[in-house]
Amino acid sequence: MSAEYSLVINILVIFIDVELGTIRLKSLLNVYMMLDVIDASMDWEVFFDKHANDNISEIVQNVIDFALDSLRCRSRFPGIVLYIEKNLRFICLSNPTDKYRLQKKRSRFALRNWLWAHALYQAPVLQTYQWTTISLPFRVAAHDRNFIRLMGLL
């Protein structure tokens, strides 16, 4: 698997984790390490054009922006930062404080996290609400360690 696809997969994992309120430092560090390898050689314009066809380019851009602010390492990755700064209209949260609030573990069903994630879905609001309603119990069951322990799977 190419580094590009590994990066996208890890970004999508972070996206779902933030939405569910289960973000972990390890996931952010995985993206950091991948960016460290590919930032200088990556043509970010081509990368995001390719993923625009998959309807995930805004998710990818916002999660990378979130990771860079969370780890306070924007100066380390000039290539992707330049691309993000040229395309700020796609960034949902521009204030770093708002991004840090997404990391708080108040509730697995934090409204702030849900709203951030659903602002990035490129689908009608009603459709994403229906999908969330149907899939949330299964996603919580898959990601919630307490639920997994309760079911005797861990």
Question: Which tokens belong to 47?
Answer: 């990368």
Return mean pLDDT, the chain: 84
**120-127: long-range contacts, CB 8 A cutoff, minimum separation 24:** 120/15, 120/58, 120/59, 120/62, 120/92, 121/59, 122/55, 122/58, 123/55
What pLDDT does 67 receive? 95
pLDDT score recorded for residue 52: 83
Radius of gyration of the chain (CA): 16
pLDDT, tens digit (0-9, with 9 covering 90-100), for 121-147? 777 777 777 877 787 777 666 666 666
How many angstroms separate the CA atoms of 71 and 24, rounded? 12
In the chain, where the domains are located: 3-120, 123-154
